[in-house]
Amino acid sequence: MTRVVRKRAGWLLPCAVVGAMLASPPQRSWGADDPREWLQKMNQALATRNYDGTFFHLSEGRVETMRIVHRVRAGRVIERLQSLDGSGREFVRNNGELTCYLPDQHTVLVEPRPDRGPFLGSLPQFGAGVNEFYRIESLPATRVLGRAARVIAVNPKDQFRFGYRLWLDESTAMPLKTQLCDSRGQVIEQIFFARLDMPENIPDSELAPAVRTDGMRWVRQGASHDTASPTLSAFRASELPPGFRLTVAGAQTIGGASVPASHLVYSDGLATVSVFVEAPQSAATGADAASNAPIEPPMQGLARVGSGFAFSTVVQGHQVTAVGEVPAQTVEFIAHSVKSSGVAELPRR
């Protein structure tokens, strides 16, 4: 069952990324030497600079070599993330559309990505109240790739969230190395660059995918909607871990489903958890149900998904899946608390 949850969560993750980026809170200004100011500089550099780099991604005892190419030209953003070994996957974002080339699944997934956040932009962005749940501090400076680097630690104050350590280039604020850590400071995931260039121009050829798509299955993920059906829109988490609140409430068509799933995003200002509430399969399959198509049993259980977790359960006949780069107990807590209130709560702005 864990394998089924992990496979299903793999389809939900692109949707979760979109929701998390939309949930990013507005940033504040601090003093020039404050570590929060350096994190703002990092996010600005990731979004506005041209860069081409090769980095190592370490997670769950595995090492994968990746290449990232990011170009900004006349306000238009194109970027490409490529696995140089392992799965051979590539991701290309051209302004509002994300194309995922998944040769290990013989699939190309195309989905809208209306946000403008870069692939490496899922690093800390801080909203009001974050200091209540995280300790943010500067550590002694060091050198990475021969460059002077600022080191910043973001440590969680409880067991419901992960922390970060970041090494930022002193001259450009680009992240040269990052670590995702648990509440005890143990490293869960690590990214560090072996090469990082910031050229003035990047040719189109460097942004074109190298994956051969002959014989691959193309899947176009449905666009996001403002609202789900009235029944699904009424589902909310009745209890939340300290600091988390509803920031996004919308709907997402998943795979070939005919009924959009409710998509909720809960955030503490840094960590985000996406929750998907799907209609019972008999309702979602429509005509297929009448044709005696087999109905898959509902998913239930916990699965590791990248550096985070996904947890699925059934609530009032509806499939509920919570997924996020947070500890297992956080996705379980939120998923178990989801229920239909009868009244849809809108995110507080």
78-87 residue pLDDT tens = 999 999 987 8
Residue boundaries of the structural domains of the chain: 46-207, 222-340
Within 10 angstroms of residue 317's Cβ, the number of other Cβ atoms is 11
Choice between 91 and 32, residue whose per-residue pLDDT is larger = 91
Give me the residues paired with residue 274 across strands.
265, 323
267-309 residue pLDDT tens = 998 889 999 999 886 554 554 444 454 556 667 899 988 889 9
Task: List phi, psi (to 5°) of 287.
Answer: -65, -30
Residue 115, pLDDT score? 57
Q: What is the pTM of this model?
A: 0.78
The CATH code of the domain at 46-207 is 2.50.20.10
Q: Is the pLDDT of residue 101 over 90?
A: yes
Q: Which CATH superfamily is domain 222-340 in?
A: MucB/RseB, C-terminal domain (3.30.200.100)
